[in-house]
Structure 1
Amino acid sequence: MAAVTRQIPLSNGLRPSTRVRESNGSSEHDKRRPTSRGQQRIQVVYGELIVLGYNGSLPKGDDGRHRSKFVLQRRRSPNGVKVVGQRDCVRPTEALKDKATHSIAMTLSREKTVVIDYDGDQSTDMFQIGRSSDPVIDFIVLDTVADCKSVKQSIVNQSTVSRYACRIVCDRDPPYTARLHAAGFDGQNRIVLGENATKWKRKDGMMDALTTNGVMLLRPDMGFEPSSKPGLWREVSVAGDIFTLRKSRSDRERGKPCTGNGESNILTDGCLIDVCGATLLWRSSISRSQTPSDSQVHDLKKKLNDSRPQCPVGLNTLQFPSVSNSAGGQEVTPYAYLKCGHVHGRHSWGVDVGGDFMRRTCPVCRQVGPYVQLRFGMESSFYLDTDSQTYSFVPCGHVASESTVKYWNRIPIPYGPDEQLVRCPFCIFPVMGDPGYVKLLWDK
């Protein structure tokens, strides 16, 4: 059955312009009961996940559970699970016979496997994230390629995102707390961790473990605010405990336990979740209603176009194209010298000897630096305010408000197996230089 998109009244602050996609393809728990004529169903929304690097939609367009963003809302029937016990078994095959119940099997040796048994929890909803197309995965997330503009560019040879990467458990009752856990249950309600997986016994006697490439969490200080400071990346265990990062992403030795103030797996507004190959932003429903909507961002773009900025040399009027990632090639498309910020139309003068288009001489101030096409930041979830788009990331050229650009310029995002780099949220391309952004100088 084709997916249907419709407006749903929301009870806990998600902005009215957000549209919730309904489909029978993601989970049996998501099926809705018809309402009588004239009756409106109030839907509780826990929050929203947005994949960094996609400026509003995937290169081929959002499709079912494979999307650039995903709204977590209270299910018709709870599907959460809770730990009810732990037992020792000789073989994993003996431990996991009952497919109707959830369980985690941790192989300690050829002779011993520990199984953690779960039972249904009527007080929580569970949402699973990974690259598998298995129906138990609510939000399909694939590897994000920096500055990807086409379907072909988005394909990677070897994915580092786990098929069942992680799960988020949300309380069905206020304040609707959401908690992150590493690993997700497969189609047979199992999590199987082999002998090589990093695992240990907790103080309460229960076993815990890390996944191969790990699930990382960053909780910004003071939330998603212009004055917020970046926190430290931590690793989340299968049980939801917090640890410092391993020496390398897949190291066998876990980091140190983090039990200090503010150290938890609870998702707050502005948290980043990294699943090794893709990074997701968590926006809480209440805070999300206080930031720009998609329509407001479109209005900001229209307002800038309506101001009819001009190229100071060619004197032609500049306009952002109707599609944010459309290719340039026309003189009306805004370009900018990223050393000084002067905005021009596309032209071929000022190229250094050797034809290096990354070293162009600005005809207004004579400074030499990158000269790139400007692209409007269309993903509203990345914005902190509705101020004018007066700044650009360097060198990708994505345009956003001053607060938005400066906030993301302070956030280190995992890059490769061990690095962390500041990256543009709209295209995930690493920023360059100091400070990594430029104020744009429009001639209006």
Structure 2
Amino acid sequence: MPQSVEQIERAESWESSDGGDRNQDLVKYGELVILGYNGCLPQGDKGRRRSKFVLYRRSKANGVSKSKHYVVKTPQTSEAVLDTKQHSISYTLNRSQAVIVEYQEDQTTDMFQIGRSSESPIDFVVMDTVAGNKIQTPGKGAAQSTISRFACRLLCYRDCADSRPRVFAAGFDSSRNIFLGEKATKWETEHQAVDGLTTNGVLLMHPQTSFCGADHPETVTKEPGVWREVSVGGGIYGLRESRSAPTKGRPIPNETSELIDGTLIDICGATLLWRSSAGLARSPTNRELELLVDNLNAGRPQCPVGLNTLVVPRKNSQISSTSENQPYVYLNCGHVQGRHDWGKVNDRSNSKTCPICMCTSSSSKLLMGIEPAFYVDNGPPEYCFVPCGHMANAKTVSYWCGIPIPCGTSGFQSACPFCATPLQGTPGYVKLIFQDKCD
């Protein structure tokens, strides 16, 4: 069956960063990467459901911009809402009054939409992230999800690939409409227009300085940014008391919803990282990460108990968890060993006594963090997150341990970017000590 122009355009945007020769002539805006997935969804990347979404300039612009607004009594029967070719946002003020904001085609921008819905207007289908990079339990999916079906939309300026996209809360449905009901948080803006917030909100956090300073290590950010909420109209506000509280936060007029390299977007159930094309050029590649693992394995680290050679897998699926070559790390001291039954303490935390330093500690399988977008530096993987055991370099583990990720309706928790497991202890990571370096 022949594909429509719209299907071809969307297929272009689905391609991953290593998508092949046919993407070499495309202009790449950047990538949106979901925190918690180490390079691929556990059930595999398929169609619009994948661990990352690469944004390319479309063959034909599909962006929109505000054109006019007016008051109506019954928005559901208004001409703009009924017209499936007209983009519009309806703000219901009460049972007998609503404000309709009409949008017109904008040839200078491309629009990309993100949400839980599998309907055609959604370019990037995102489901709730399950900590530990695990497949969601059947029967506990969409009905209990806190992610909006049409969560947010991005506008990318076509004239410059290095320009900063803007993000807006809410996305247009199949009829090209956005509806904010009577109970939704909304308010009057300048020129008697209206703006509002979605039920669970869309949060943004910009990094304070450069996200990845591979070329200039001194510019790597040391402090996390501040979480803000973005409105349907693209305005920036402080956080509400809780995720769905009826009162908006204070306006932040000196900040914008423009994405910079390293900006985090939280859609209540999943957190996405924006990486610009320029930023990705400074980040390590998949091949460079594999070479770092090869260099580590070239030292032929040994298990001090079994005296067998340990091999850190390049990818999580290369060595089974029962393999005698699979390395494990004691999370309190950082000593790396093979799988063995020596030193069990028989407590609830499954602790063992480390045969090197006699420290009592829980242990975890050692895995390589292989998603390049999460790295802020090109250094060797000498550390791992606690308690999941994902390996990365010093500046990367230090950065993510300081980032508060939204969880629940009002809480924040630092987490491993490769599996979304909440971090434990202080600082939340440990330096790895291999047997070949004990001499």
Same fold (TM over 0.5): yes
- Counterparts of residues 230-379 of structure 1 (less than 5 Å): 230-260=224-254, 263-321=255-313, 323-324=315-316, 327-352=320-345, 354-379=346-371
Q: Does 1:387 align with 2:379?
A: yes
Corresponding residue SS for 2:191? coil
Provide closer, same or farther for how the CA distance between residues 2 and 223 of structure 1 changes in structure 2, counting only shifts above 3 A: farther
Deviations 1:62-96 (A, max 9, x none): 00111100111111010000000101111122221
Deviations 1:379-432 (A, max 9, x none): 111112221110000011111111111111111101111111110000011100
Corresponding residue SS for 1:204? helix
Provide closer, same or farther for how the CA distance between residues 232 and 256 of structure 1 changes in structure 2, counting only shifts above 3 A: same
Work out the CA distance in 2 between the residues paired with 1:373 and 1:77: 47
* Contact 1:351/1:359 (8 A) holds in 2: yes
Whichever residue aligns with residue 332 of structure 1, its letter is N
Provide closer, same or farther for how the CA distance between residues 421 and 196 of structure 1 changes in structure 2, counting only shifts above 3 A: same
* Contact 2:130/2:136 (8 A) holds in 1: no
Q: Of 199, 204, 213, which residue of structure 2 is paired with 1:212?
A: 199
Whichever residue aligns with residue 84 of structure 1, its letter is S
Work out the CA distance in 2 between the residues paired with 1:350 and 1:97: 70
Structure 1: tracts of 5 or more residues without a match = 4-21, 32-37
Work out the CA distance in 2 between the residues paired with 1:238 and 1:249: 15
Q: Which residue pairs with 2:88 in the alignment?
A: 103
Q: Does 1:65 align with 2:48?
A: yes
Mean CA deviation greater in 175-184 or 115-124: 175-184
Q: Which residue pairs with 1:42 in the alignment?
A: 25
- Counterparts of residues 127-146 of structure 1 (less than 5 Å): 127-146=112-131
Corresponding residue SS for 1:60? coil
Could you state the TM-score of these two structures normalised by the residue count of structure 2? Answer: 0.90
Whichever residue aligns with residue 215 of structure 1, its letter is V
More helix by share: 2
* Contact 2:388/2:421 (8 A) holds in 1: yes
Aligned pairs, number? 417
Q: CA deviation at 1:27?
A: 4.0
Provide closer, same or farther for how the CA distance between residues 2 and 139 of structure 1 changes in structure 2, counting only shifts above 3 A: farther
Could you state the TM-score of these two structures normalised by the residue count of structure 1? Answer: 0.89
Work out the CA distance in 1 between the residues paired with 2:119 and 2:23: 32
Deviations 1:129-149 (A, max 9, x none): 001111111111000000033
Q: Of 143, 161, 164, which residue of structure 1 is paired with 2:150?
A: 164
Corresponding residue SS for 2:7? coil
Q: Does 1:116 align with 2:101?
A: yes
Deviations 1:121-180 (A, max 9, x none): 011110000011111111110000000334548954611110000000011112422001
Identity of aligned residues (%): 47
Whichever residue aligns with residue 91 of structure 2, its letter is M
Whichever residue aligns with residue 93 of structure 1, its letter is Q
* Contact 1:52/1:279 (8 A) holds in 2: yes
Whichever residue aligns with residue 79 of structure 1, its letter is N
Provide closer, same or farther for how the CA distance between residues 322 and 42 of structure 1 changes in structure 2, counting only shifts above 3 A: closer
Structure 2: tracts of 5 or more residues without a match = 15-20, 213-219
Q: Does 1:191 align with 2:178?
A: yes
Work out the CA distance in 1 between the residues paired with 2:8 and 2:353: 54
Q: Which residue pairs with 1:13 in the alignment?
A: none
Q: CA RMSD in A?
A: 2.4
Work out the CA distance in 2 between the residues paired with 1:153 and 1:223: 40
